[in-house]
Amino acid sequence: MSEDNNPSKAAQGILDTVKSNPKILYGAVGAVAAIVLVLAMSGGGEEVQIKTAVSVGQQVVLENPNGGSSHLTTMPGLMGTAEAEEDQEQSVCIAKAGAKATVEEEMVVGQLPFVKVKVLDGDCQGKSGWTSKVNVKGG
**CA atoms 68, 69, 75, 81: torsion sign:** negative
Residues lower than pLDDT 70 in the chain? 1-5, 43-52, 78-88, 139
User: What is the pLDDT, as a whole number, of residue 87?
Assistant: 57
Task: Round to whole Å and give the CA distance between 118 and 129.
Answer: 7
Residue 52 lies in a domain: no
First to last CA, the chain: 71
- pLDDT value of position 48: 46
Say yes or no: 69 and 130 in one domain.
yes
Task: Count other Cβ atoms within 10 Å, centred on residue 71.
Answer: 20
Give the list of residues 6+ apart from residue 116 with CB closer than 8 angstroms, or none: 76, 103, 104, 105, 106, 107, 128, 129, 130
Together in a domain, 86 and 132: yes
* Residues spanned by the domain of 107: 59-138
pTM of the model: 0.59
Residue 68 lies in a domain: yes
Smallest CA-to-CA distance from 62 within 111, 127, 16, 119 is with 119
Q: Are 95 and 123 in contact (CB under 8 A)?
A: yes
CA–CA separation, 132 vs 112, rounded Å? 8
Q: Is residue 78 part of a domain?
A: yes
Q: What values do phi and psi take at 71, rounded to 5?
A: -85, 125
Q: Is residue 28 part of a domain?
A: yes
Q: Is position 50 within any domain?
A: no
The whole-number pLDDT of residue 103 equals 95
